[in-house]
Structure 1
């Protein structure tokens, strides 16, 4: 990969939404190269340690005069290790040759005894000029150059240099597998050895001499095996949690606190396998507090000095107390300038005062304390002046892999719901997946629905494990948790107080006292001083407790929370709050409020349709409900059918709307809602006569107001487009776009080069322009789709549509049009542009807004773009992450994903087109046709004349607009 292509890779944001841009991208590339070189060097040194045992080697020295030195009885071999992306050039070795010459002078003058020889070991082959130089007469006879496909090294204690870090790891692991013990996996021993080589390279005690003697090699290997014998066994397949902390650190004491099931012990067991220093693990679950000091001393002394004659006797003195022996151990560690690393598990079962005594007595021991949140952990934090760390659980990709392995199916939204239910805690996720596989036919969605509504029959491990702690809390704490559990979003402190005041009838002082007591239990998460939320894993118990208190108490709490959230949304709007509010309306049976949401176009952009759809279906089917409410519920359902292209029930729903309008004389607005929907349905069914008939009827009844007429004209243009009349659709859309621009007081030229926030200052501020912005964006999108069918470039119209969608907060449409824009860029082979749209525009929106329904589609397309950009490793990694979701994908998405996987493999094997070539592969053409739908009428490609009107709708000549 060239430096420029690596910079392009770093130019945006990653799929998770986290900002990965840097100030100096070239500096980052240089830093990565430096660390890659050091890692290669350390693994090369580990290989030499494994080769040294039977080769007459006396010592292996790292990072002294040279990168690596092999000492024999009468000879010393100096090795300079080089890593390069391309070839090894003459300039790359000139410094090494000069240094070799200086070292050789030490031997020729008698300053050093014996003989010296020199090696340059490189992962890259020599360039032509360097190869000529090697075979020239003036090349030093005692200097060899080793490279992967070069001559076999004459010294058997030196390996053939691997081509890469990955190949070096493989080679080292192959050697490690031949050692005469099997307590460690070869890969584990490889990382261990690389770590101790790095440790010696730093000259750290007890490796101040940077060397390893032949006599200690077998002991070194045996010691490495012993280090993991007493640690818990990690899971057969360990899956990392989000942002896992480092196991070892320079802090004297750290606390990692988490609920039972959070995966603390598994994390330690796995991390210890890769630790460069010995780690002593002690589970104090059944150890009396006064005996803890003796246990720590015995374990650490045995680990650190068990092979040293006499030292254990100096530490484990007969008749001495545990603290006295611990003090003696600490002195011994200090004399040898060493530190021991100790993990103490289940510290919440020991008095904080006992832990404090041990920490104070042993400053040369680094303590990592694991425990469950509660009074003792809170006391430890206070006594030791340490803030507890937490493990953050599995993300949705990891959850998908877990549930897939158990035999379940789940899309991204399902995994997100399961994460909320379990807090992402590993044991609870795994147990929930097991229950779903056994009792719900593998459907994670069905399992989550039952648990959310508290209608599940099979009790989960999460409930069983946490119930004991929950029921041990005071009654007022349980009540507080139960009420706050209704909110699955963080509430501000004032909002939480208002909720508890309304639900419990308490004053502010009493509520504050309750809230102060909850963090120590682990049930309440605090986000600074501004927000709080019940831990997701505990909410399940809280909701069950609230249900047991009766429907009157539960509905009262929900009513108060609804009022709190309504006010909160006006102050600080978020998708999560909106989803919660919708669920509360549904649970409280407030049909009219739900229908108002469903008939608001912008509501459908928020990605919360799954939250409201079940309620609307119930309202529409309720023959006892208000007819007008039922009609608008149907209107919302049909609107979403059109948006998602799902028409199985659309025709019957439109007929139901007609029946309600005619039977109840609901008025012009209701009739027009039905008329517009029927007109669009006719266009979907390719019934041109039906469209014409409905157009005539609607046009007669539409109010003679500009806003209404524009909506009608848009729907007419959309119907023409659906019928395949692309030219008429383009013409109608262009006229509408011109009018919308004039109403907003901006021009297409104003939009070019400005981001959405910069455009806002140009818009009118004396009236709400949101609806107009949305309608303009919709019309630009329609223009782009119709022009695209005519084989005209439509990227600019889509870019403008995305900006106006962003201004209107129409995020789902923004992402949808953005994906079409990515297709446009790929169409003309601008793969870098396609990648930038995904990384800089779409992924940040999806992450910020939480559009779970768009995640898989966007990431699958991203994998294709990565492949076309030549980043095959990243494309393969993305496909691997998406594969567990495949079975739960909608059929059309699954088929597209399967085609995308084949395409990515084709590009990897045979290569793809170069940037901005005109031709496009048949495979990718098929994917584009599948995404866009096969057009009914494909009009011939034609170039736009310089003096013709620009297709973007600006009403300017092409040469003065986008043809500049």
Structure 2
């Protein structure tokens, strides 16, 4: 319906225009008070909205009259403006609003539709008798009065106007002269209802809003209908919920996998730290709940008084209009539990259940809650509670398990911090999630502080918090400190020591850490762990894993520092030994990241440098953990020259990987200066030579590359593995300079040599996924480097061949398999994205989507890689659009928008192009899907995780001949495996 149409005439007759000229003659305000471009258009718009509002108020009056009139249903904006269904008849009402009089031409369309509806009733298509009403705020014109008095006027059609005859049906109101009069009429009716909690005017406008929602077919009123049975509840809902439920936040953001508010369970516990958003979750969920919800905040309520409070509130909610029922429930002299029993019985007789939310339930003794639940079987309780000993008591007494709110994910955090005026990429949001536990209040407070004190830089804020150098305290620290400082000293020390670990420890590992750090025996450590759940600071993972809640760890780490450097170093050293031991039997990326941080905190620079120079650790996504320490080591003028050079080598490797060639050039020059000023060995010179050669190739310096090739080849050790690495780097450098043919031939030769080294053939790879390939490889050998170099060679071969080639597609698929076998997850994702782009290039969009959903995203999630996430998801949105899933593509783009400001400039530009592609494909459509049979290698790649858990294959045990996980560079059997 356009702005100029008559809201009361479904025929679209432009009645408002008939009055535009007359209304234009009304007195005009001074020029400086009228700031509109087209006054006549404004008059038409006002008439349309006035008509709609009048109609909604008329329908609200019908709702208020329905009970007394015995109407079964009130239907709005379906066949007619308003339809009233009585037991034996239907009344169809058309509502007209006019400025002066109602003319015959104004109702001609309505009379024609009445004839069609009348015919349906006569033919049996509609049940009952039909009666018709035209309700108007304006008196009929003389011509219309004459028409009504004529013999041919239908007997079943009435005209209602303010000064006309009394309506024959008591289910319809007498029309008022204008909107204000109609609102006053509704308020008079509302005042007669037995409700005292809302002013009649408030109920009137709420009912009008409900009519407006039903007119639009908005859920839960897709049928545009109100039934007689629900009217008392409808009126009560509008009264009680506005009076008792907390208001949801203006912008509510859902938490991860948040539970439903209503269920069939008699009692549920929703547990979470202060700031976890329990009340906001409840308030938002209650707005959309299908049943009335009674809310009680019992923070200051004595336990014995809880039952009385519940009985009174629920009785008023459910039976507020039935004084006889309230009299049966709220018996004089009855105890609170007796009243709850009577209330439950009455609910059962009426076939009802009542939903009751009890906030701050941790302040009520468990025995009082158990008694309340036992006496109210027709009440459904939701207990909002902070964690602690009382939850364990309730879980045991009620035989239930507490549920938790899981906090916000990175996308939601990004949206929240963007709204606060901050910028953060995916990794920054991941760090903020770890710091705050993802708890909504703490995230919002952190964003507020970052906007005010850090210029909106979430990364800088997180760095200060992690290093405990922040000057402004967060609400998280202030709120949780009160509970933390109230704990016994032994519990505080236990939490503080365990807070140093940001990964889950087994009970044995946690016990060993406490014994070593606190100088206690195993029995005392076990006693401390047993008491820990009562503090509310513990997170449990399965039957064996435990960790201090992320939101509490800030306070725990600060408490360790406050105990002095000696205690802190002792605790860190104890944790390092525990983690090294844990990695031997249960390797994980999270533990590796923690171990690297521990090396840095304990000043073990040489081990960190060894990590940095191993390509594996660049692949595992732990570079952000290493880089800050390497920068310090490389910049130390008094440091060991060899250690500084290898630190620079690791930094240059990352510079080349990220395309930061200016920083790479400066660091390569620093490496050369160290070589000239110190007597370092051939291995250090080779590291510098290789990095300089690759840097020059990226900069397009052909002569420089050829000179370095000659120098490096002259000093290269005569060993097969060194020769292959050199040949690969030479081929890569030449490829960067545009020599594709040499790169193709050399990469192909290297692929063949590595296959022979591994004892497999290219045919063995086709149709097999990574786990199956592992069974064909030599056992009891560290194959990581060879597998990685084979994957690199496949990748180089594919890049040199270019796209649109079946051979390059196959090479990329094989590269992904060997990258996964060598746990080179960064390269796996990078080549996976190249594969997706190649599949899109040949219009195989279905395979591109499969590559994302079955391979790339499981690796990203399992390996915890934050860096490539945004690039991958942006490309995935394009693939979704090409697959015709336009809504999913638009939703993905919407979730990525909060990250846009923090994106790398190149990535941001690419993202903007991708958004344009998605819009264009939605508008014009994309190319047709290529009809192809998925090749066996690609099918094997997809089948690898079909039906399997989406996680990276765990590395359970370190082989005797593998490199030691501690980073010493030695074999495990002669290092920590002795």
| TM-score range relative to shorter protein | 0.7 to 0.9
Task: Supply the distance in 1 between the matched residues of 2:892 and 2:212 (Cα, whole angstroms).
Answer: 26
Shift in Å, 1:280: 0.5
SS at match of 2:205: coil
CA contact (8 A) 2:60 2:208 kept: no
Which residue number corresponds to residue 924 of structure 2?
Answer: 910
- After TM superposition, the structure 1 stretch with the greater mean CA deviation from structure 2, 659-668 or 237-246, is 659-668
Which among 804, 816, 819 is matched to residue 830 of structure 2?
A: 816
Which among 518, 530, 545 is matched to residue 516 of structure 1?
A: 530
Task: Supply the distance in 2 between the matched residues of 1:603 and 1:548 (Cα, whole angstroms).
Answer: 33
2:549 equivalent to 1:535: yes
Which residue number corresponds to residue 699 of structure 2?
Answer: 685
SS at match of 2:259: coil
Which residue number corresponds to residue 775 of structure 1?
Answer: 789
SS at match of 1:532: strand
Which residue number corresponds to residue 328 of structure 2?
Answer: 314
Which among 672, 676, 681 is matched to residue 658 of structure 1?
A: 672
Alignment of 1:496-507 (within 5 A): 496-507=510-521
Shift in Å, 1:348: 1.2
User: Deviations 1:760-809 (Å, cap 9, x if unpaired)?
Assistant: 11112253221111001101111111110797851111001000101111
CA contact (8 A) 1:745 1:763 kept: yes
Shift in Å, 1:540: 0.7
Distance 1:184 1:70, change over 3 A: closer
SS at match of 1:852: coil
- After TM superposition, the structure 1 stretch with the greater mean CA deviation from structure 2, 315-324 or 183-192, is 183-192
Task: Supply the distance in 2 between the matched residues of 1:389 and 1:216 (Cα, whole angstroms).
Answer: 32
CA contact (8 A) 1:184 1:225 kept: no
Shift in Å, 1:396: 0.5
Which among 356, 360, 369 is matched to residue 342 of structure 1?
A: 356
Task: Supply the distance in 1 between the matched residues of 2:875 and 2:482 (Cα, whole angstroms).
Answer: 47
CA contact (8 A) 1:282 1:345 kept: yes
Alignment of 1:168-247 (within 5 A): 180-182=204-206, 214=228, 217=231, 220-247=234-261
Which residue number corresponds to residue 899 of structure 2?
Answer: 885
Task: Supply the distance in 1 between the matched residues of 2:604 and 2:207 (Cα, whole angstroms).
Answer: 64
Which among 658, 678, 702 is matched to residue 644 of structure 1?
A: 658
Alignment of 1:862-877 (within 5 A): 862-877=876-891
Which residue number corresponds to residue 724 of structure 2?
Answer: 710
Which residue number corresponds to residue 575 of structure 2?
Answer: 561
Which residue number corresponds to residue 72 of structure 2?
Answer: 59
CA contact (8 A) 1:192 1:275 kept: no
Task: Supply the distance in 2 between the matched residues of 1:116 and 1:574 (Cα, whole angstroms).
Answer: 75
CA contact (8 A) 2:803 2:838 kept: no
CA contact (8 A) 2:502 2:550 kept: yes
2:469 equivalent to 1:455: yes
- After TM superposition, the structure 1 stretch with the greater mean CA deviation from structure 2, 226-235 or 599-608, is 226-235
Which among 715, 734, 757 is matched to residue 701 of structure 1?
A: 715
Task: Supply the distance in 2 between the matched residues of 1:188 and 1:659 (Cα, whole angstroms).
Answer: 77
Shift in Å, 1:644: 1.4
User: Deviations 1:813-853 (Å, cap 9, x if unpaired)?
Assistant: 00000000111001111111111111111000000000000
CA contact (8 A) 1:602 1:810 kept: yes
Q: TM-score, normalised by structure 2?
A: 0.75
CA contact (8 A) 2:843 2:928 kept: yes
Which residue number corresponds to residue 375 of structure 1?
Answer: 389
Shift in Å, 1:606: 0.5
Which among 539, 545, 554 is matched to residue 525 of structure 1?
A: 539
Task: Supply the distance in 2 between the matched residues of 1:616 and 1:605 (Cα, whole angstroms).
Answer: 17
Shift in Å, 1:226: 3.0
Shift in Å, 1:309: 3.2
User: Deviations 1:495-519 (Å, cap 9, x if unpaired)?
Assistant: 1111111101111111111111111
Which residue number corresponds to residue 602 of structure 1?
Answer: 616
User: Deviations 1:443-500 (Å, cap 9, x if unpaired)?
Assistant: 1111110010111010000011111110111100000000000000101111111111
User: Deviations 1:231-270 (Å, cap 9, x if unpaired)?
Assistant: 0000011101111111111111111111110111111101
Which residue number corresponds to residue 126 of structure 1?
Answer: none
Task: Supply the distance in 1 between the matched residues of 2:87 and 2:796 (Cα, whole angstroms).
Answer: 82
Which residue number corresponds to residue 430 of structure 2?
Answer: 416
User: Deviations 1:101-122 (Å, cap 9, x if unpaired)?
Assistant: xxx9x999xxx995799xxxxx
Alignment of 1:47-86 (within 5 A): 53=63, 58-60=71-73, 71-75=85-89
User: Deviations 1:86-143 (Å, cap 9, x if unpaired)?
Assistant: xxxxxxxxxxxxxxxxxx9x999xxx995799xxxxxxxxxxxxxxxxxxxxxxxxxx
Which among 371, 382, 390 is matched to residue 357 of structure 1?
A: 371
User: Deviations 1:335-388 (Å, cap 9, x if unpaired)?
Assistant: 223221111111111222222222222222111111111233332223222221
Structure of greater relative contact order (alpha carbons < 8 Å, 6+ residues apart): 1
Shift in Å, 1:411: 0.4
Task: Supply the distance in 2 between the matched residues of 1:565 and 1:730 (Cα, whole angstroms).
Answer: 44
Aligned residues: 772
Which residue number corresponds to residue 433 of structure 1?
Answer: 447
CA contact (8 A) 1:802 1:817 kept: yes
Task: Supply the distance in 2 between the matched residues of 1:416 and 1:910 (Cα, whole angstroms).
Answer: 37
Alignment of 1:851-866 (within 5 A): 851-866=865-880
Task: Supply the distance in 1 between the matched residues of 2:467 and 2:215 (Cα, whole angstroms).
Answer: 48
- After TM superposition, the structure 1 stretch with the greater mean CA deviation from structure 2, 838-847 or 737-746, is 737-746
Q: TM-score, normalised by structure 1?
A: 0.76
Distance 1:116 1:716, change over 3 A: same
CA contact (8 A) 1:499 1:561 kept: yes
CA contact (8 A) 2:320 2:326 kept: yes
Shift in Å, 1:178: 13
Which among 345, 350, 359 is matched to residue 331 of structure 1?
A: 345
SS at match of 1:454: coil
Task: Supply the distance in 1 between the matched residues of 2:208 and 2:767 (Cα, whole angstroms).
Answer: 59
CA contact (8 A) 1:257 1:389 kept: yes
- After TM superposition, the structure 1 stretch with the greater mean CA deviation from structure 2, 566-575 or 814-823, is 566-575
CA contact (8 A) 2:804 2:841 kept: no
CA contact (8 A) 1:57 1:70 kept: no
CA contact (8 A) 1:192 1:274 kept: no
Shift in Å, 1:313: 1.9
Task: Supply the distance in 2 between the matched residues of 1:678 and 1:358 (Cα, whole angstroms).
Answer: 76
